[in-house]
Amino acid sequence: MKIFETLLVCAFFLAYILIGVYFNRKALNNRSDFYVASGKVNLPINTLATFAAFASGGSFLGSIGVAYSFSLSYIWSAIVGSVSGFIIASVLVAPYLSSMKLNSLVDFFKERYNNWKVLRIVGGAIVVVAFTLYLVSQYKAAGITAEYLLGWDYVWTLLLVTIIFVFYTSIGGMWAVTMTEAIQAVLMFIFMILLPIFAVINLGGPAKMISKAIEISPNWSALGVPLTTAIGFALVWTFTVSCFPHISMRILASKSSNVAQKTMGYTGLLYGIFCLVGFIGVSAAALNLFPIGTEQALKDPDYAYIAVMEQYFPPVLQGFATAAIIAAVLSTTSGLLLAISVAVSNDIWSSIFPNTKEKTVLRIGKISIFVAGIVSALFALNPPALLVILYSQATAMMTSGFFGPLVLGIWWKKATRQGALANMIIGSGGFAVLYALNSLKVITLPTFAEFLIALPLGLIANIIVSNATFNASSSESQEMIHKMDEVHKNAQSVVG
């Protein structure tokens, strides 16, 4: 057991739990308090919290693992896709979603598509499935880190982190998540940037380190993967940011539409720097230290950050860096668990049982956090080797069904609830079918090619069905057009 590092991480955990306890009273007031902090979060805190929620443990460990074992193609795709995604979200989604004062992304589907229960239930179910799979990658990252700290078996470390994550998220809601994520963001950013600096100093400078990495693994600087995979991975994140439920909750927690829009822009900038310096620098250092194809090569590429950290950081910095990894996992995990809680209680349960009391809905939300945490932990007992592939596929499935109903719903007056449902079924359902067939070797597609097929199919289905079902003269259509005109007017007046 690494005593100092363990004590330091425990101190951070204790601080997070105390913050959760402190904000517990606020979170118990109503759904808006628990899920979106009543839309009162300011720009600096919201930017840091959004960055922490997006820069997950999967990206902290998984992206470096992919770059180390394959090539930088995934990193360039992640940078281009994510930064583009935050720009799109800033312009097309954030100010309008924020002005509607909702509790979740699926609440937008409720407001925009005439409170159609079927759409809310299907949307909520997609969130639960996608984010439960996403959580598996976070639990693996936490298990790897805790295993390194405690020297325990992976199963026992997984059980420990599951209990801590679930307890912390369930007691404080969005207020606790927001304040702790702001702290976690600072830790994550500093120690992702600091490790490459130490590596460069010890390996003779950036040019020498990078040229040695290319010599060891020529694919590292080459395309390294099929062009379809690189494009697909970039586009997954280009379109995902706008309709990521836990990022949408950060938009809804913003103090104003102006804050929501700027939050997306600043977060994109922070994440671009985080990826460019951290992922490239650490993966290059890992190749120098643990050359692929040799006995020194890492058995699990997701350990690359930890392995490099052990080589160059003194014990004190190792403790803080380990806390940064745990922070990355905790920040995203808490956001994912909260989004699942919203989907189950606010979207699915409240649609089926609309007369449920507020306190009962909150109680169901907290129970769903426990259930989702346990189910994800069970899947994480035997996870795949590359975290970034797992969680990106899960988000691609969700985005294939959600991007159209959200963006077309904001910007296209003829979008109908039938079109939105068709988009979800064809988009997310189509992705799931293609992914299953590809996994079973029934068909052969490059990784992420499923997304390049499913996303446009869902959008086409939405446009065709909406055009077929839109009735301009109906009172329902006129009421919806008026409502969205008001949304645009309110958002633009605040942003402008």
Distance CA 436, CA 286 (A): 33
Decide if 250 contacts 50 (C-beta within 8 A).
yes
Model pLDDT, residue 106: 83
Decide if 121 contacts 308 (C-beta within 8 A).
no
Model pLDDT, residue 373: 86
Number of residues written out for the chain: 496
Q: Two tokens at 478?
A: 């006129």
Residue 448 Ramachandran class (φ > 0 left, ψ -120 to 50 alpha, else beta): left
Question: Cα dihedral sign for 100, 103, 104, 108?
Answer: negative
Distance CA 8, CA 496 (A): 46
Decide if 170 contacts 366 (C-beta within 8 A).
yes
Give the single-character DSSP code of 353.
S
Model pLDDT, residue 203: 95
Distance CA 199, CA 18 (A): 36
Q: What angle is formed at CA 111 by the lines to CA 109 and CA 114, rounded to 5 degrees?
A: 90
DSSP 165-213: HHHHHHHHHHHHHHHHHHHHHHHHHHHHHHHHHHHHHHTT-HHHHHHHH
Helix (H) or strand (E) holding 156: helix 154-202
Decide if 149 contacts 9 (C-beta within 8 A).
yes
Give the single-character DSSP code of 381.
T
Model pLDDT, residue 28: 56
DSSP 287-320: HHHS-TTSTTS-SSGGGHHHHHHHHHS-HHHHHH
Decide if 332 contacts 57 (C-beta within 8 A).
yes
Q: List, as own/partner pairs, every contact residues 210-213 make where C-beta atoms lie below 8 angstroms and the sequence separation is at least 24, other chains included.
A: 210/284, 212/284, 212/287, 212/288, 213/283, 213/284, 213/285, 213/287, 213/288
Model pLDDT, residue 467: 96
Model pLDDT, residue 215: 93
Decide if 272 contacts 79 (C-beta within 8 A).
yes
Q: What Rg, from alpha-carbon coordinates, does the chain have? A: 22
Per-residue pLDDT tens, the chain, 496 aa: give them: 677 777 877 787 788 777 777 766 655 566 777 777 777 899 999 999 999 888 876 667 778 888 898 888 888 888 999 999 999 999 999 999 998 888 888 889 888 998 788 998 999 999 998 888 888 877 777 777 777 766 777 777 778 778 877 876 776 667 777 888 888 889 889 999 999 999 999 999 999 999 999 999 988 888 777 888 889 989 999 999 999 888 998 999 999 999 999 999 999 999 999 999 999 999 999 999 999 988 899 988 888 999 999 999 998 898 888 888 877 777 777 778 888 888 898 889 988 888 888 888 888 988 898 898 888 888 878 766 555 677 788 899 999 999 999 999 999 999 999 999 999 999 999 999 999 999 889 999 998 999 999 999 999 999 999 999 999 888 888 988 898 999 898 887 655 5
